Amino acid sequence: MRLCIISDVHANLPALEAVLDECPRGRIIHAGDVVGYNPHPGEVIELMREKRIASVMGNHDYAVLTGDTSAFNPVAARAIEWTRGVLQEEHLAYLRSLSLELRVEGICCVHGSPAEPLWEYVYPGEGLEEHLQRAGARMLVLGHTHVPFHLRLPQGEVLNPGSVGQPRDGSPLASFAVVEDGEVEVRRVEYEVGRVARDILRAGLPGVLAQRLYSGW
Ligand code: ZN
């Protein structure tokens, strides 16, 4: 079995392209937040579809569909509103088609946590046993925090592949994971941050969204 696991692409096309170039052949799973923050939501949705990447829904995907930004900070909310203004009906239909949970090859994949798939942040060491138990799977795959980790417990393993489009662990490199024959490897890849930063400014999105990509926060 060989799987490429990605998360939180967040409308960053150059980062997604760079990751897909490094992904070995096989199935690709995405742990949610296809859109939000960055300036290429339509292009990213089209590439996700073309590559048949299976995805769950993230809180930013949900907010773009509902227009409810009450849980977001002003910068994130502004990006949600901008995204709603540029996406076409076919893109919205794609977001609407995403489910909250995906089960494939003994893996349970959600964006936040099995109990709160859209909103709960799970960091290493925080009740992972309970999350695994609730998932009822050998491996639980999460996104949402944008911080990569992989832990093996007696009950199973928990993997967050980090974020493709907005890493937050102090490295600007796009993050993803490869699962092959029971081995898990988190990998990082360089992409053209300058290209995304330029498009963020051209789109009129807040400049801080460009700045943070250079240092990974
Ligand atoms: Zn996210």
Gap from CA of 182 to ligand 1 centroid (Å) = 26
Neighbour tally for 16: CB within 10 Å: 28
Question: Are the CB atoms for 80 and 58 separated by under 8 Å?
Answer: no
Strand, helix or coil for residue 212? helix
Residue 138 CA: distances (Å) to CA of 46, 51, 99, 126, 132:
31, 26, 20, 18, 8
Q: Name the pairing type of β-strands 183-189 and 174-180.
A: antiparallel
Reported confidence tier of residue 125, pLDDT bands at 50, 70, 90? confident
| pLDDT higher than 80, residue 48 | yes
User: pLDDT digits over 54-88, tens only?
Assistant: 999 999 999 999 999 999 999 999 999 999 999 99
Cα 136–139–141 angle (5° rounding)?
105
Identify the pLDDT of residue 70.
Answer: 96
The pLDDT score that the predictor gives to residue 32 is 98
Quick one: pLDDT at residue 126? 74
Distance from residue 146's CA to the centre of ligand 1 (Å): 6
Q: Kindly report the backbone phi and psi dihedral angles of residue 86, in degrees, each rounded to the nearest multiple of 5, phi listed first.
A: -105, -20
- CA 113 to ligand 1 center in whole angstroms: 13
93 Cα: distance to centroid of ligand 1 (angstroms) = 20
- Residue 34 Cα, ligand 1 centroid: separation in angstroms? 8
Give the model confidence (pLDDT) of 182-209 as tens digits. Answer: 899 999 999 999 999 999 999 999 999 9
Q: What are phi and psi of 123, to 5 degrees?
A: -110, 160
Residue 183 CA, ligand 1 centroid: distance in Å:
25
pLDDT score, position 112: 98
The domain 2-215: what is its CATH number?
3.60.21.10
Average pLDDT value for residue range 109-133: 95
Bigger pLDDT: 81 or 181?
81
Spacing, Cα 10 to ligand 1 middle (Å): 7
What's the first-to-final CA gap in the chain, in angstroms?
Answer: 33
Domains of the chain, residue spans:
2-215
**Chain-centre distance of CA 17, in angstroms?**
14
Residue 24 confidence (pLDDT): 87
- The mean pLDDT of 104-118, rounded to a whole number, is 96
**Residue 136 class from Cβ within 10 Å (0-12 exposed, 13-18 middle, 19+ buried)?**
exposed
What's the whole-model pTM score?
A: 0.97
Residue with tokens 């849980």: 71
Q: How confident is the model at residue 38 (pLDDT cuts 50, 70, 90)?
A: very high
The C-alpha atoms of residue 79 and residue 39 are separated, in whole angstroms, by 8
Q: What distance in angstroms lies between residue 206's CA and the mean position of ligand 1's atoms?
A: 17
Share of the chain above pLDDT 90, in %: 95
Nearest to 146 by CA among 52, 88, 73, 59: 59
